[in-house]
Amino acid sequence: MREAHPLERQVGIEYYVSDGPGVGGRLREDPEDFRVRELETFDPEPLDADPAPYPHLLVRATLTEWDTNDFAGALSDALGISRERISWAGTKDKHAVTTQLFSIRGVDAADLPDLRNADIDAIGRIGRNLEFGDLAGNAFEIRVRDPERPDRVDTITDALEAFGGGSVAVPNVFGHQRFGSQRPVTHEVGLCIAREEWREAVLTYVANPAETEPERTQEARSRVAAVAASDDPDWQAALDAMPGHLGYERSMLHKLVETGGTTPDDFRAALETVPWNLQRLFVNAAQSYAFNRMLSERLRRGLPFDRPVAGDVVCFADTDAPEGVTLTDTDRLQRVTEDRVDVITRHCERGRAFVTAPLVGTETTLGDGDPGDIERAVLDDLDLEPGDFDLPGNFDSTGTRREILVATTLSVAREPLTLSFSLPRGSYATAVLREYLQVDPRDL
């Protein structure tokens, strides 16, 4: 077990499963190097179905170098409709070739426009718009350019198969991008929010410069920190220093100008100026950081990931998952007692049950025994407890549990080195890629 990259350790990922170096190399030299295809769950009605009960056109789009939000905006402009009439199941990487579904309310197949670097096919009609998570998972085909140690692929694969009990498997960590690829601070903001340290949360996001940022941005964040440290903060001066492209930071500072920025309520109001999904992301990132820490500690202690020990909490397979895709039902939980370890182990071996760890929230169930000790030790170290997530507005979270292992069937092509695999929704391709490449997570 090898120590992880320093930037990964910042987000709670402490180790690689395998010993020795990775293959190295580079990703995304060209969009064609990174292909992602959604594993679909929808079975639409025919295109000529009555649009009254089926008002949404379902389209499959293959996009090259398109941000999902940007594509939706361009599509709505070309159709002359509101952006709110377009929905999708999951966001995708921009520097890639992606195939994904979109639903469009109130249009026909003949209305679809031609857009650059986009192949758009109407495949049917559905009765509701797509919602986030309306997919079973994603299939990846990823080329590794100029690997330094390509022969390490087999050794790493063997290690991951041993770790997964026969299948290639990795810890189901949240990837670096969950926390901010260039400036990973969202979890730090979320931890402050969970402690109701509203002032510290704002300054962690708005001040707190990172070396990876442009010099002007670093100077602006340093200016905010200096203003905040004064006895009579001049928030207008901080706002004036903040570049225009940092819209969320400017929104927070503008609210501090309005309110005076002196009380905890002023700083909470500043946080609430950003979109609701970013407010939730702050808290989710804090939960994800604690989850990564728990998995790292489980690795350090040598506890298995593919089977339970006494005290674990397992979830069961989702019986409604599409054929050939394994999904979990985290509403179906069971605590593993000493006399049930062997029975639950057999369920895990057959893909019917999965060991979990908490994404801590107000209704989180913590484990017992050694797993429970790990969970409580991490929370104690972070000065957190489940009740801390009883928070106002969009910051509130009941929590859940998440499987700690993600397994896949992985194939390797040698010339050029290409990794092909599928993952269930909610799992990160970087969780697999980091084990093989072992490079700076910003390059994954």
Which residues are known catalytic residues?
93
Q: How many CB atoms lie within 10 A of CB 286?
A: 28
Three-state SS at 398? coil
Three-state SS at 331? strand
Residue type, 242: M
Residue with tokens 């970013």: 278
Residue with tokens 């008002």: 55
If 0-12 CB within 10 Å is exposed, 13-18 middle and 19+ buried, where does residue 84 land? Answer: exposed
Q: From CA 124, how far away is CA 122, in angstroms rounded?
A: 6
Please state the three-class secondary structure of 380-395 as a single string. HHCCCCHHHHCCCHHH
Identify whether the C-beta of residue 387 lies closer than 8 Å to the C-beta of residue 393.
no
Three-state SS at 374? helix
Q: How far from the centroid of its chain's Cα atoms is residue 109's Cα? A: 33
Q: How is 220-261 classified by DSSP, letter by letter? A: HHHHHHHHHHSSS--HHHHHHHS-TT-HHHHHHHHHHHHH-S
Beta-carbon contacts of residue 215 (< 8 Å; ≥ 6 apart): none
